[in-house]
Amino acid sequence: MKKDKVPERSQLALKRAQNWLQSAQRGKEDQRWDDCVYNAQMAAEQAIKALFLKLGIYYKRIHDVSDTFRQMTEKEDLPKTFREQIPKIADRMEELTEQRNLAGYGFEEGINPDYFQEYAPIALEWATDIVRTVRKVLQNL
Look at residue 28 and tell me if it is in a domain.
yes
Does the pTM of the predicted model rise above 0.85? yes
CATH number at residue 55: 1.20.120.330
Look at residue 127 and tell me if it is in a domain.
yes
Look at residue 36 and tell me if it is in a domain.
yes
Look at residue 64 and tell me if it is in a domain.
yes
Look at residue 4 and tell me if it is in a domain.
no
**Please, what are the averages of pLDDT over each run of 10 residues along the chain (141 residues)?**
58 97 98 98 97 89 89 90 96 96 94 96 98 96 85
Give the separation between CA 73 and CA 62, rounded to whole angstroms. 20
Look at residue 1 and tell me if it is in a domain.
no
Give the separation between CA 72 and CA 94, rounded to whole angstroms. 15
Domain count, the chain: 1
Cβ-proximal residues to 80 (8 Å cutoff; 6+ apart), any chain: none
Give the separation between CA 54 and CA 60, rounded to whole angstroms. 15
Look at residue 111 and tell me if it is in a domain.
yes
In this prediction, residue 7 carries a pLDDT of 58
List the domain range (segments joined by +) for residue 120: 10-139
Give the separation between CA 100 and CA 119, rounded to whole angstroms. 11
